[in-house]
Amino acid sequence: MKKNFLILTFNFLLLTCLFSASPGIDVGNKSVDFSLQVLSSTETFKLSNYDGKNPVLVNFFATWCPYCVQEIPELNKIHNEYGRKGLFIVSINVQERESKIADFAKRKKILYKILLDANAEVAKKFKVYGIPTNILIDSKGVIVFRGNNLPDEKDIEKVLPKPKKKGKKK
């Protein structure tokens, strides 16, 4: 009995390590790439288009999630404050109807782009098991923050493009 317990424990720990070490989803790893349709548009958002250009905050949400709804005013604030400094925000809705999401976005006055992950393919790539999930990706495509809360100002400030210093005039 004790031997079976030890074998089961070892197997559980091994599987946990294997799944937690997946590339592209942990802080410090290069993010996985994805392409998704933008809500109410023919436009497609592709994450790798921002490599070398802009940091991106990716927010996974659902309209029925009360914590996701609570984040919207803060995400709008981050969009207004840091969007002009180079941060790009996208919210990825997982498995809801486009018409429902569009009505929700209008009611909640969402200012940033919403992407449609109808089959949860991108959520699976990022191993999103709960929402909200927020992932901050720097301009090199590296994940610098991942959590169920939003990154704080310090985390955001770190990934913003540095202002170019003007040369001294003689």
The tens digit of pLDDT for each residue in 66-83 reads 999 999 999 999 999 999
110-124 average pLDDT score? 97
For the chain, the first-to-last Cα distance in angstroms comes to 83
Q: pLDDT band for 10, please (50, 70, 90 cuts).
A: very low
| DSSP state string for 99-130 | HHHHHHHHHHT--SEEEEETT-HHHHHTT--S
Q: CA–CA distance from 52 to each of 36, 105, 140 (Å)? A: 20, 30, 5
More confidently predicted of 18 and 32 = 32
Q: Which domains does the chain have, with CATH numbers?
A: 23-159 (3.40.30.10)
